[in-house]
Structure formats: C-alpha cells, structure tokens
Structure 1
Amino acid sequence: MDKVKRLVAERSVVIFSKSSCCLSYAVNILFGELGVNPLVYEIDQDPDYREIEKALMRLGCNAPVPAVFIGGKLVGSTNEIMSHHLSGDLTKMLVQSHALNKY
C-alpha cells in the first residue's frame, strides 16, 4: 500500500497498468492524445505486483488495472475514464490537477 501511495503522490496523473492489458493500453493512448504525460506503472514488471493489485483493490478499484489516479485521487478504471472523457469532465480534472494546460 505504501508503494501505491508514494507513486500516486509523485505525479498529477498515475496509471497502474499491465503490459499485456489491452484496456490499459487504450487508457494510456487516450491520455497521450490529450497531451498528458502520466506516470505509467507497469505492475507486472514489479516482483511485488500481487501486493500492488491487492492495495489497488483495497483503495476501491473494481479491477486492478488500469487504475487511474488524478491529483492523488482514484478516478477509476476504463469505464470511469471513458465516461469522464465523453462528458468533458476528464479534461476539467486534468486542468485542475495541473496535468493539462487548457482554457
């Protein structure tokens, strides 16, 4: 849990991902197209990835990856990110967290 909290505190946008997960890939591409440079942490590259998965689930993630944090807060996984994107709220969150300079 400490590793997850430390990583989330380091950057405005953190995406916990797995290198083999197509949904993680799609979310990473979306943020790149929006002009955001998130910290993408590939949990399957970490020897403690099972502990990271458990920590993410305890924090409220429905699925361990992708898990997106913006401004230190869990926003959610693919469904939540896409819903926020389609409503325009994702851009607002990114601007508020200083991950994106718009408006």
Structure 2
Amino acid sequence: MDRVAKLASQKAVVIFSKSSCCMSHAIKRLFYELGVSPAIHELDEDSKGREMEWALMSLGCSPSVPAVFIGGKLVGPTSEVMTLHLNGSLIPMLKDAGAMWL
C-alpha cells in the first residue's frame, strides 16, 4: 500500500496498468492525446506488481487496472475517467494538478 501511495504522488498523473490490458491502453492513449505525459507503472512487468494490484483493489479499484491517480488522489478505473472526460471535468482536474497548461 505504501509503495502505491508513494508512486501515485510522484507525478501529476500516474497510471497503474498492465501491458496486455486493452482498457489500460485506451486510458494511456486518452492522456497522451490530451497532451499529458503520465507516469505509467506496468504491474505485469514489476516484481512487486501483484502486491500493488492487491493494494489497488483494497483502495476500491475493481478491476485493479487501469487505476488512475491525478494529483496524488485516486480517480478510478476507465469508467470513472471517461465519465469525467465526457462531462468536462477531467481537463480542469488535470490543469489543477499541473498536468496540462492549456
């Protein structure tokens, strides 16, 4: 849990992902297209990935990936990020966190 919290606070946008997950790919693509350069942690490529996955699930991430943190706070999985994007809340949130300057 401490590792997840530490990693989640190291950059304005942090995505916990799996390299084989299509939803993770879609979320990463969304942020790149918005001009945001997130820190990405591929759980399937990290020796502590399974432990971090359990920590994300204990925080309420279901499914565990993708898990998006903005400004050190858990935003949630794909459905939550897409809802914020569609209702116009995501970009102001990214600006407030210092992830974009448009």
- Per the TM superposition, whether the score is higher than 0.5 is yes
Gap runs ≥5 in structure 1: none
Distance apart, 1:82 and its partner CA: 0.6
Task: Give the alignment of 1:4-83 within 5 angstroms.
Answer: 4-83=4-83
What is the distance in 2 between the residues matched to 1:81 and 1:100? 16
For the aligned residues, what is the CA RMSD? 0.7
How many pairs does the alignment contain?
102
Identical residues among aligned pairs (%): 56
CA distance in 2, matches of 1:30, 1:11: 17
For 2:95 and 2:68, locate their aligned partners in 1 and report how far apart those are by CA, in whole Å.
15
Residue 5 of structure 1 aligns to a residue whose secondary structure is helix
**TM-score, with length taken from structure 2:** 0.97
- Superposition misfits of 4+ residues, deviation over 6 angstroms: none
Distance, in Å, in 2 between the alignment partners of 1:22 and 1:62 is: 15
* Aligned-residue offset at 1:59: 1.4
